[in-house]
Amino acid sequence: MKITAAAVNELRKITGAGMMDCKKALQEANGDIVGATDILRKKGLASLAKRAGREAKEGVVDSYIHAGGKIGVLVEVNSETDFVARSDDFKQFVHDIALQIAAGNPLYVTREDVPDDVIAKEAEIYRAQGVEEGKPDNVLDKIATGRLEKYYTQVVLMEQVFVKNPDLTMNDYLGEIAAKLGENIGVRRFVRYELGETI
C-alpha cells in the first residue's frame, strides 16, 4: 500500500514521532491512522509530543574538529536532567549533531529560526525562477512553496538528512533518542567555523 506524505505528516502531528517511524507504522497498519498511532504508542514514540512542553535546562556543550583542523563546531544540546546528559547515548547524539553541522553546514537549528525576511527573499527568487522558466502565474506560489521546502532541507539542521544514516532526517534521529532516553531533548544553538571563510 502506498503511504502518502500527508498521512505521514498527520501522524507526526498526532504522535510527535519521527517521519520514518510514522511511515513504518502506517505501512504496518495498512494506512490506518488510528492503528498506526497505537503501534507508535506501544513503541513509546508517541510520548514525545507530551514531553515537548517540559523544559530542557541540562545538557552539554560539545566540540568537533574536522578535516585536519579546517572545520570546527561548537554545539549546545539540552536535556531535562543531568543524569541523561551524562549518558553515553546522549553524548553520542551530541557528537553526531556536531558531526552533522560540520558536514552539512546548516545555518539554522529549526525552520522556525529562519528569519521572515530570508523566507520572503527566497520565495521571491523562486517565483522569479518560475517566471523565467515560463510557468503560468497561477502556479508560481506553488513552485515557490515547493522550492522553499527543499531550501529548508539544505539550511535547517533538523531537516537535513543524517550523514551517518540517509534514511533519517536529524529530526527523526532526535525523536528516536528522545524516545529511548525518555526526555525532551533539543539542540539549542551552534557555531561552525571554517578556516579562511569570510565573516
pLDDT of residue 102: 95
Domain boundary assignment for the chain? 5-46, 58-110+156-194, 115-154
CA distance 54 to 80: 8
- Mean pLDDT within 69-98: 93
pLDDT of residue 127: 85
pLDDT of residue 47: 56
HSE, CB side, 13 Å, CA atoms: give it for residue 38. 7
Write out the DSSP string of 19-34. Answer: HHHHHHHHHHTTT-HH
CATH 1.20.1250.20 for the 115-154 domain, yes or no? no
58-110+156-194 topology per CATH: Tetrahydropterin Synthase; Chain A (3.30.479)
pLDDT of residue 44: 65
Taking only the tens place, the pLDDT of each residue in 13-50 is 777 677 788 888 899 999 888 888 888 777 765 555 55
The answer to whether the 5-46 and 58-110+156-194 domains have the same CATH topology is no
156 grid coordinates:
535547517
Which amino acid is it at 22?
A: C
- Mean pLDDT within 145-152: 92
pLDDT of residue 114: 93
Helix (H) or strand (E) holding 9: helix 5-15
3-state secondary structure of 48: helix
199 grid coordinates:
565573516
CATH superfamily ID and name for 5-46: Ubiquitin-associated (UBA) domain (1.10.8.10)
